[in-house]
Amino acid sequence: KEEKSLNFIEEIVEADLQSGKYTQIITRFPPEPNGYLHIGHASSICLNFGLTKKFPGYTNLRFDDTNPVTEDTEYVESIKNDIRWMGFEWEHELYASDYFDTLYDFAIQLISKGLAYVDDSTSEEIAALKGTPTEPGKDSPFRSRTVEENLALFEQMKSGAFPDGSRTLRAKIDMAHINMLMRDPILYRIKHAHHHRTGNKWCIYPMYDFAHGQSDSIETVTHSICTLEFAPHRELYDWIIATLEIYPSHQYEFARRNLNYTVTSKRKLLQLVQENHVNGWDDPRMPTISGLRRRGYTPESIRDFCDRIGVARRENMIDVGLLEFCVREDLNRKALRRMVVLDPLKVVITNFPEGVTEMCHSENNPEDIATGVREIPFTRELYIEKEDFMEVPTKKYFRLAPGKMVRLKGAYIIQCDDFVKDENGEITEVRCTYIENSKSGQDTTGIHVKGTLHWVSASHALKVEVRLYDRLFSVEDVSSEEGDFKDYINPNSLDVITGYAEPALQEANEGESFQFLRKGYFAKDPDSSSDKLVFNRTVTLRDNWAK
> Would you please indicate which residues are annotated as catalytic (active-site) residues?
32, 256, 266
Closer to Mg ion at the Cβ: 65 or 330? Answer: 65
Examine residue 537 and tell whether it contacts ligand ATP (CB under 6 A): no
Rounded Cα–Cα distance for residues 415 and 403 (Å): 6
Q: Select the binding partner of residue 299 from Mg ion, ligand ATP, none (C-beta < 5 to 8 A, by kind).
A: none
Of 67, 214, 264, 379, the one binding ligand ATP (CB under 6 A) is 264
Residue 30 interacting partner from Mg ion, ligand ATP, none (CB closer than 5 to 8 Å by kind): ligand ATP
Whole-angstrom CA distances from 470 to 193, 225, 380, 432, 494 are: 41, 34, 36, 36, 6
With CB under 6 A as the rule, give the number of residues binding ligand ATP. Answer: 15
**Partner from ligand ATP, Mg ion, none contacting 257, C-beta within 5 to 8 A by type:** ligand ATP
Choose the one of ligand ATP, Mg ion, none that binds residue 226, judging by a C-beta under 5 to 8 angstroms depending on kind: ligand ATP
Nearer of residues 32 and 417 to Mg ion, judged by Cβ? 32
Minimum distance from CB of 11 to ligand ATP (Å)? 19
Say whether residue 31 binds ligand ATP (CB under 6 A): yes
User: CB pairs under 8 A, 24+ apart, for 128-133?
Assistant: 129/175, 130/180, 130/183, 131/175, 131/176, 131/180, 131/183, 133/180
Instruction: Count residues binding Mg ion (CB under 5 A).
Output: 1
Strand partners, 337: 515
Q: Rounded CA gap, 164 and 150, in Å?
A: 18
Of ligand ATP, Mg ion, none, which one sits near residue 486, judging by CB under 5 to 8 A according to partner kind? none
Contact characters 35-54, ligand ATP, x per CB under 6 A: -----xx-xx----------
Q: Binds 256, which of ligand ATP, Mg ion, none (CB < 5 to 8 A, cut-off by type)?
A: ligand ATP
96 C-beta neighbours (distance < 10 Å), count? 23
Report which residue type is found at 214: Q
27 binds, among Mg ion, ligand ATP, none (CB under 5 to 8 A by kind): none
Contact segment (CB under 6 A) with ligand ATP among 29-37, 162-170, 287-295, 490-498 equals 29-37
Within 13 Å and on the Cβ side, how many CA atoms surround 74? 6
How big is the chain, counted in residues? 547
- Closer residue to ligand ATP (CB): 40 or 206: 40
The H-or-E segment that residue 410 falls in is none
One residue of 204, 226, 405, 523 binding ligand ATP per CB under 6 A: 226
SS3 402: coil
Select from Mg ion, ligand ATP, none the partner in contact with residue 197, using the beta carbon and a kind-dependent cut-off of 5 to 8 Å: none
The residues that bridge with 189 in the sheet, in sequence order, are: 168, 205
Scanning residues 22 to 41, which ones bind Mg ion (CB under 5 A)?
Answer: 32
Q: Which is nearer to ligand ATP, 198 or 265 (CB)?
A: 265
Cβ proximity to ligand ATP, 32 vs 543, nearer residue: 32
Query: For strand 116-119 and strand 168-171, is the pairing parallel, antiparallel, or unpaired?
Result: antiparallel
From Mg ion, ligand ATP, none, interface partner of 499 (C-beta below 5 to 8 A by class) = none
Task: Using the minimum distance from each CB to ligand ATP, give the nearer residue, 167 or 266.
Answer: 266
* Distance, CA of 433 to CA of 275 (rounded, Å): 54
Confirm or reject binding of residue 238 to ligand ATP (CB under 6 A): no
For residues 383-442, which are near Mg ion according to CB under 5 A? none
Min dist CB 478 to ligand ATP, Å, is: 13
CB of 226 to ligand ATP, least distance (A): 5
Closest to 40 (Cα-Cα) out of 271, 284, 292, 327: 292
Mode of pairing for the β-strands spanning 405-408 and 257-259 = unpaired
Sheet with 186-190, strands from edge to edge, namely: 116-119, 168-171, 186-190, 204-206
Beta-carbon contacts of residue 26 (< 8 Å; ≥ 6 apart): 52, 57, 58, 59, 60, 219, 220, 221, 222, 223
Give the separation between CA 47 and CA 227, rounded to whole angstroms. Answer: 12
- Binding track over 63-82 against ligand ATP, x by CB under 6 A: -x------------------
* Burial tier of 533 (Cβ tally within 10 Å: 0-12, 13-18, 19+): buried
CB of 24 vs ligand ATP, minimal distance in Å: 21
* CB atoms closer than 10 angstroms to residue 2: 3
Residue nearest to ligand ATP as judged by C-beta position: 40
Residue with Cβ nearer ligand ATP (260 or 332) = 260
Q: Which residues of 42-60 are buried (b: 16+ CB within 10 A; e: fewer)?
A: bbbbbbbbbbbeebebbbb
| Residue 256 found at the interface with ligand ATP (CB under 6 A) | yes
Which residue lies nearer to Mg ion by CB, 80 or 518? 80
Which residue among 167, 223, 257, 338 contacts ligand ATP (CB under 6 A)? 257
Question: Shortest Cβ contact with Mg ion: which residue?
Answer: 32
Strands (E), 436-501: 452-453, 456-457, 462-469, 494-501
Determine, following the binding rule CB under 6 A, whether residue 262 of this chain makes contact with ligand ATP: no
φ and ψ at residue 288, rounded to 5 degrees: -75, 160
Residues lying near ligand ATP in the complex (CB under 6 A): 30-32, 40-41, 43-44, 64, 226-227, 256-257, 264-266
Residues lying near Mg ion in the complex (CB under 5 A): 32
